[in-house]
Structure 1
Amino acid sequence: MDRLSNTVRPYAWGSTTAIPELLGVAPTGEPQAEMWLGAHPGAPSRLDRRTSTSVDTGARTDKGTGKGAGAGSGSGEQPLSAVIDADPEAELGAAAVRKFGPRLPFLLKLLAAGSPLSLQVHPDLAQAREGYEREERQGVPADAPHRNYKDANHKPELICALTPFDGLCGFRAPEQAADLLAGLAVDSLEPYADLLRAHPEEAALREVLTAVLTADPAEMAATVTEAAAAAGRLGGAYEPYATIAHHYPGDPGVIAAMLLNHVRLQPGEALFLGAGVPHAYLNGLGVEIMANSDNVLRCGLTPKHVDVPELLRIVRFETTEPNILRPEASGTGEEVYETPIDEFRLSRYVLAPGADPRDLTTAGPQILLCTAGAPRTNGLGLAPGGAVFVPAGETTELSGTGTIFRATVVV
């Protein structure tokens, strides 16, 4: 197996302290939003097989700008993507290559939100393929700010809380959303509340989200300002929206966010986000895993491009009760977060002192990430934030004490 060096990406919404605290290093004062573990071309993990079998401890993490990695920062290091490209079947296993192609099909992250992320939605696989092919035919440059589809893949994702974690997920029942808006006593929000009460679920949600995102920008900014002031005064259920408005003053996404369920995860709880479900992460530290894609349609809370017609085509306008996942224990000590996705499978091991070693050998590739304690994988010590890549079929034993998250595939 190979110890990984991973890039921390400094997005503006990132916490300045959460990832440094986990890694046991001093904060830089700059936001540290995501630590990427995998073979995504934007910032692939790096490894050095000449030294990876030595027994040592600690996390090796590049806290640079996250602009990608050539040969890596250390002598002999090479991107995990290049290692996989050189021999996909040896690294991923023949079954995984047949099922997903010669690429690692997931991306694992540590995600630390210090302020709200954009309100967004992801396409399903058919929508992603059609959208990507369409923009390719149109000649839209891959790095164009208005491009919606960076690749032809879907992007289901799972977030597992390491600290209390706040987010928005799926539409509230229209009547509940109407009551929330009406409670602000803002005159310009009354038509939206009336629409939510007057129409069937799908039509009500579609009409109101469309109206919010296509309203006159100056008028909507004034509405958001008034709504934010009211939310600040009322507190309670309105507190998350007052916080969102503080970070995104005048943004129509503040009103759109009030159509969604507010969710608070406790450590160990997780949330699965499938295609078409609008969502946003607000605050907290978690382990995130997703299919390896960059396809995002934004609804607001961002200075980036919002393609309203395409967004409305992708969003599923249906009431959703957030399905909070708790890990399902097995007799082997593995606790699995069950999802309907084959591209990734996330589980964890919580090793108590004196626990028997666990056999993690499997037919697919694995990334093992330590989040607490001092576990060992085949004698290789890991500190919080430390991770290893395990090629398919390699004999793997987990021992010691602490918590390990295991990312693999279903083959």
Structure 2
Amino acid sequence: MDRLDNTVRPYAWGSTTAIPQLLGVEPTGEPQAEMWMGAHPGAPSRTDRGTLVDLIAAGPEKELGAATVAKFGPGLPFLLKLLAAGAPLSLQVHPDLAQAKEGYEEEERRGVPVDAPHRNYKDANHKPELICALTEFDGLCGFRDPNRTADLLAGLGVDSLKPYVDLLRAHPEEAALREVLTAVLTADREEMAHTVAATTAACARLGGDYAPYAVLAHHYPGDPGVIAAMLLNHVRLQPGEALYLGAGIPHAYLSGLGVEIMANSDNVLRCGLTPKHVDVPELLRIVRFEASDAGVLRPEASPDGEELYDTPIDEFRLSRYVLSEGGAPRDLTRPTLQILLCTAGTVRAGELELAPGRSVFVPAGEKAEVSGTGTLFRATVVA
């Protein structure tokens, strides 16, 4: 079992206080957005035996398990993070596996440099993800029913939103959502900036259900993504609740601290709320134009105390253990690799003591007995 030393990424949208507070260290004054736990080449976790990349490369089956390597190849299939949003992240979607392979191969064929700012596909993998709230956590997830969105927009009394209201009411669900998102993202930027300004003022004045969208416009004035975001469900997670983001589902995180896990990919198609490249035609190819509720997940408890966040993919499996004082040790040994992350209290994993924000890598089949008083997240795979 290896204690992990993890890198914190200082993205501009990060909270200056949430991750330091969890770790029990003084804030630096700079944003601290994500702490990465895994073998991503951009910031691999470090151990006393070398980086997690080095460990796995030297013995994939020993570290990951033979079944994991047979199913996913000789690399860690997921990336685990602490995510602390102090400002909204970009509005985005992720491709499915077939779309990612097709898009990656096409950009490779055209010779688009992998680090080019207009490149959409950095790899050939999909990027399903799960976010579990540690604090109250605000986000946008999935399209709202078009008629409800029409009512929401109409209630603002902004004349330039009326064409979108009419489209949402006049067409079947898929066509309505597609036409409105297309119209918003392809509108004249100067005219759209005026629409966003008028919408922002109305949202700020009315408050209530409109308040989150006023916050978006404060961070991204004039951005068409502010109007696009109003097509989506706003959701506020309570600690322990989660969201699963599958392929083609538009989403954005707005504020809060959570544990995030995702397939090991960098593929993102942006819809707005960003200065980065927005490829509208490719985005429209990837988005699933169907309304749904946000789909809040709550963990399913098993007799052994594991609380599982059930998702439909195999690259990751996230669960939680809430350990009580005086409770019997739990044997978490598995034939696949694990990363264990403490988020509250003090947990003992083997010979290692974990305070909040501390984590360990457990090689496949390695004895993993935990005890203590606190909350422990377990990340592994289905193999």
Q: Say whether the fold is shared (TM-score over 0.5).
A: yes
What's the offset of the Cα at 1:320? 1.1
Pick from 177, 184, 189: which aligns with 1:205?
A: 177
What's the offset of the Cα at 1:333? 1.0
> Could you tell me which residue of structure 1 aligns to residue 213 of structure 2?
241
Tell me the distance in 2 between the aligned counterparts of 1:162 and 1:37.
17
Tell me the distance in 2 between the aligned counterparts of 1:252 and 1:177.
16
Tell me the distance in 1 between the aligned counterparts of 2:106 and 2:335.
36
> Could you tell me which residue of structure 1 aligns to residue 70 of structure 2?
98
> Could you tell me which residue of structure 1 aligns to residue 139 of structure 2?
167
- 1:332 maps onto 2:304 in alignment: yes
> Could you tell me which residue of structure 2 aligns to residue 343 of structure 1?
315
| 1:110-121 aligned within 5 A | 110-121=82-93
The residue type equivalent to 1:314 in the other structure is I
- 1:19 maps onto 2:19 in alignment: yes
- 1:196 maps onto 2:173 in alignment: no
The residue type equivalent to 1:168 in the other structure is L
What's the offset of the Cα at 1:331? 1.0
The residue type equivalent to 1:233 in the other structure is R
- 1:267 maps onto 2:222 in alignment: no
Instruction: Give CA deviations for 1:88-128 in whole Å, capped at 9, x if unaligned.
Output: 00000000000000000000000000010000000000000
Instruction: Give CA deviations for 1:310-367 in whole Å, capped at 9, x if unaligned.
Output: 0000000000111111111111111100000100000011001011100000011100
| 1:399-410 aligned within 5 A | 399-410=371-382
Tell me the distance in 2 between the aligned counterparts of 1:253 and 1:180.
16
In structure 1, the gaps of 5 or more residues are 50-77
Tell me the distance in 2 between the aligned counterparts of 1:156 and 1:180.
29
| 1:140-179 aligned within 5 A | 140-179=112-151
Tell me the distance in 2 between the aligned counterparts of 1:223 and 1:385.
43
Instruction: Give CA deviations for 1:6-61 in whole Å, capped at 9, x if unaligned.
Output: 00000000000000000000000000000000001111101003xxxxxxxxxxxx
What's the offset of the Cα at 1:137? 0.5
Tell me the distance in 2 between the aligned counterparts of 1:190 and 1:42.
45
> Could you tell me which residue of structure 2 aligns to residue 31 of structure 1?
31
- Compute the RMSD of aligned alpha carbons: 0.5
| 1:215-230 aligned within 5 A | 215-230=187-202
Tell me the distance in 1 between the aligned counterparts of 2:268 and 2:61.
30
> Could you tell me which residue of structure 1 aligns to residue 46 of structure 2?
46
Give me the TM-score of the superposition, normalised by structure 2: 0.99
SS of the residue 1:316 aligns to: coil
Tell me the distance in 2 between the aligned counterparts of 1:14 and 1:200.
39
What's the offset of the Cα at 1:133? 0.5
Tell me the distance in 1 between the aligned counterparts of 2:76 and 2:48.
18
Give me the TM-score of the superposition, normalised by structure 1: 0.93
In structure 2, the gaps of 5 or more residues are none
Identical positions, percent: 80
> Could you tell me which residue of structure 1 aligns to residue 6 of structure 2?
6
Tell me the distance in 1 between the aligned counterparts of 2:24 and 2:290.
43
The residue type equivalent to 2:5 in the other structure is S
> Could you tell me which residue of structure 2 aligns to residue 71 of structure 1?
none
Which runs of 4 or more aligned residues in structure 1 lie more than 4 Å from their structure 2 counterparts after TM superposition? none
SS of the residue 1:5 aligns to: coil
> Could you tell me which residue of structure 2 aligns to residue 135 of structure 1?
107
SS of the residue 2:184 aligns to: helix
Tell me the distance in 2 between the aligned counterparts of 1:259 and 1:326.
25
What's the offset of the Cα at 1:265? 0.3
SS of the residue 2:334 aligns to: coil
- 1:186 maps onto 2:158 in alignment: yes
What's the offset of the Cα at 1:142? 0.6
Instruction: Give CA deviations for 1:274-328 in whole Å, capped at 9, x if unaligned.
Output: 0000000000000000000000000000000000000000000000111111111
Pick from 53, 60, 82: which aligns with 1:88?
A: 60
The residue type equivalent to 2:373 in the other structure is T
What's the offset of the Cα at 1:379? 2.4
The residue type equivalent to 2:52 in the other structure is L
Tell me the distance in 1 between the aligned counterparts of 2:294 and 2:160.
29
> Could you tell me which residue of structure 2 aligns to residue 60 of structure 1?
none
Pick from 294, 303, 316: which aligns with 1:322?
A: 294
What's the offset of the Cα at 1:185? 0.7
The count of corresponding residues between Structure 1 and Structure 2 is 383
Instruction: Give CA deviations for 1:353-410 in whole Å, capped at 9, x if unaligned.
Output: 0111000000111000000011100121000010000000001100111111000000
